[in-house]
Amino acid sequence: MKADALRGHLDALILAVVEDEPLHGYGISEALHSRSEGAIDLPTGTLYPALRRLERLGYLRSSWSTVGGRKRRTYQLTRSGRAELAARQHDWHQTSSVIGAILGTGPAG
């Protein structure tokens, strides 16, 4: 998948994968890769700045833990993060419906 296709959607994708459970950075990367059936393979230079930005915005909170002798920062969705995710999901459904209608892949809703 082209990186340009993700532009503007990365934050929503990250929020979506931590919606169900807290994950560390590598776990988030793996979840994105798995859910996209390998289409999304984010470099760490893209993922970690996005995680820090989402935390600064109050959409994620993080905590440190030690697993197998290694320190890991685990991220989880905040209440405002859940609201932001819901808003972005709503916007995405509207946008994809309109674009689908124009490209001939579905009705406008």
Q: What distance in Å separates the CA atoms of residue 84 and residue 86, rounded to the nearest whole number? A: 5
Q: Which residues contact 48 (CB under 8 A, 6 or more apart)?
A: 25
Q: How confident is the model at residue 28 (pLDDT cuts 50, 70, 90)?
A: very high
Beta bridge mates, 66:
71
Q: Choose the weakest-confidence range: 2-6, 8-12, 76-80.
A: 2-6
In this structure, which amino acid lies at residue 48?
Answer: Y
Nearest CA-CA partner of 15 in 31, 37, 33: 31
Indicate the SS3 state at residue 78.
coil
* Structural domains of the chain, with CATH: 3-101 (1.10.10.10)
Rounded Cα gap, residues 18 and 85, in angstroms:
10
pLDDT of residue 44: 84
Could you tell me the pTM of the whole model?
0.85
**101 vs 62: CA distance, rounded Å:** 40
